[in-house]
Structure 1
Amino acid sequence: MPEPLAVVTGGTRGIGLALSRRLIGMGHRVVAFYAHDRESAEKAEANDAGLTALQVDLADASAVADAAARVLAEHGTPAVLVNNAGRNIDRPFLEMSDEDWRAVLDTNLSGPFWLTRALAPAMLAAGGGSIVNIGATTGIRPRVDGVNYCASKAGLLQFTKCLALELAPTIRVNCLIPGMIDTEELRTRWRLDDPERMEQTLDEIPSRRMGTVEDVADALEFLVGPAATYLNGQKLIIDGGQFMW
């Protein structure tokens, strides 16, 4: 019997790569979508047996449809879909262009819509599966200069709940929300190599540490595994207690 298939968008670096690797460790084959960073994709494909990298622009509806058709034809029906890819273009609201708005909304919200719409019928016909959307704490609590990103992640939460209603009971759909996870991108964006900035950040986290990509992977393993079969339409926040909603 072939190993089950998982599709992970943004699955070749950072948190996404950790999610891909955890799914491989759980016995899945993984098709990991990436947008631009071919070097990271090739490295992941070379180093991680069971991972196939596929370049896809999630902001392009036709490209997503073509990629989904290729996955189904070449790899089969996914048992797990992780909508992880995300894009930030931070700017004050009054300076934000149409392109700034569209690029982030299309990648973070329209992309999951297009991809899930393309794959869900096969998943339903196969008898089930699990979809996990990777949200953000800013989808619940706003921040300055991020109206496009915050709106996209807030929309992803409602997208999760609507899919959970419509695809149940065959497919479970949940939202995994990482807090301050120690990745290169986060350290750069929040200037956390500055000890003072790091200390200020840790002061906001009751657990007094940054999260790791493995913390997020642990949560994914729970959500797609047998221990969470009665969990549907929920948000799981992995943040060390920073955001207690």
Structure 2
Amino acid sequence: MSLDAMNGNGGPLAVVTGGTKGIGLAFGHKLKKLGHRVVALYGHDEPAAREAQAELGEGCAVVRTDVSDPARVREVARRILDEHGVPRVLVNNAGRNIDRPFTEMPDEDWRTVLDTNLSGPFYMSRAFAPAMREAGGGSIVNIAATTGMRPRFNGVNYCASKAGLLHLTKCLALELAPHVRVNSLIPGMIDTDDMQMRVRSASPEHRASMLTSIPQDRIGTPEEMAAALEFLIGDGARYITGQKLIVDGGQFMW
């Protein structure tokens, strides 16, 4: 996939990591509907990338990179800035989840998850924020997780990375104010292929058990996450920075 085919004219630019499936792809569709040109970055799933490029169509580019590698982040950011200008929106959505009891967790699994989920947003924000600030402003949205606030078994690497991301959001919001706003968007149970695989939510029995903890008695959709993103990057949220917005049907209200 290449940036070369993306039209350099038109609306404001948005960059979305992990942007070729699930919630990330829903973000791309929403941003395009709002008039943005979209660069959707992905890590390794080529079939999903091809499908996303076909879905997003003209004015959008799907580009492979590794957000955990600072050199590759610098390179893709330089290309985007040189060829398509400064993004108004950066969504740090890419993430990895490798579960294991912490006493059995290899160093590689710890580093892979921390490098993707926490260092990745740091590298991406560092690459784009100076240009965004110089251009007059913009919005960075970090996709965090409820496990950054409440732990779970066998997820010490994931939980630690997402807890760190919440505090990274606040630090970036302080340093980039007043021109660039930085917020966290936190999904609850959202109906994606990844969630169906990890928690077997497609099974009626497992789904019924999950719904007992969700006051709205249903699982959310990627489109509802995209609607929340629309709010956070829009004019209605101009006075909101350093905050977290939880989209979970009330599951974490207590």
Interval of TM-score (by shorter of Structure 1 and Structure 2): over 0.9
Deviation digits for residues 34-80 of structure 1 (CA, Å, limit 9, x no counterpart): 00011111111122122201101111111111111111111110000
Which SS does the other structure have where 1:130 is aligned? strand
1:116 to 100, 125, 148: 125
SS at match of 1:127: coil
Aligned residue among 208, 215, 219 for 2:228: 219
Question: Aligned residue for 1:89?
Answer: 98
Q: C-alpha root-mean-square deviation of aligned residues, in Å?
A: 0.9
| Unaligned 5+ runs, structure 1 | none
Deviation at 1:115, TM superposition (A): 1.0
Contact 2:23–2:225 (Cα < 8 Å) also in 1:
yes
The structure 2 residue matched to 1:231, chosen from 199, 217, 240, is 240
1:210 aligns to 2:219 (yes or no)? yes
Match of 1:171? 180
Name segments (4+ residues, structure 1) moved above 4 Å: none
In structure 2, the partner of 1:30 is 38
On the 8 A contact 1:44/1:51 being kept in 2, the answer is: no
CA contact (8 A) 1:6 1:23 kept: yes
For 1:63, the equivalent position in structure 2 comes to 72
* Conserved 8 A contact 2:10-2:37: no
Aligned residue among 12, 32, 36 for 1:4: 12
Q: Which residue number in structure 1 is paired with residue 253 of structure 2?
A: 244
Between the two proteins, the alignment pairs up a number of residues equal to 245
TM-score, with normalisation over the residues of structure 1? 0.98
Structure 1 residue 129 and structure 2 residue 128: aligned?
no
Deviations 1:93-131, CA, capped at 9 Å, x for gaps: 000011000000000010111111011111011000000
1:240 aligned counterpart, secondary structure: coil
- Once the two structures are TM-superposed, the CA of residue 194 in structure 1 deviates from its matched residue by 2.1
Aligned residue for 2:251, secondary structure, equals: coil
Q: Identify which range, 19-28 or 192-201, moves more after superposition.
A: 192-201
Greater shift in the superposed pair: 92-101 or 184-193:
184-193
1:184 deviation in Å?
1.1
The answer as to whether partners of 1:83 and 1:133 remain within 8 angstroms in 2 is: yes
Q: Please state whether the residue corresponding to 1:31 is helix, strand or coil.
A: strand
Amino acid at match of 1:129: G
Residues in 2 aligned to 1:12 and 1:40: alpha-carbon distance in whole angstroms:
6
In the alignment, is the contact (CA less than 8 A) between 1:64 and 1:115 conserved in 2? yes
Identity, in percent, stands at 64
Unaligned runs of 5+ in 2: 1-8
Q: 2:50: which partner in 1? A: 42
Letter in 2 for 1:67: V
Q: Quote the residue 1:72 is aligned against.
A: 81
Q: Secondary structure at the match of 1:156?
A: helix
**Does the aligned pair in 1 maintain the 2:211–2:218 contact within 8 Å?**
yes
State the distance in 1 between where 2:33 and 2:180 align. 22
Q: Does 1:197 align with 2:171?
A: no
Counterpart of 2:4 in structure 1 is none
Does 2:156 align with 1:147? yes
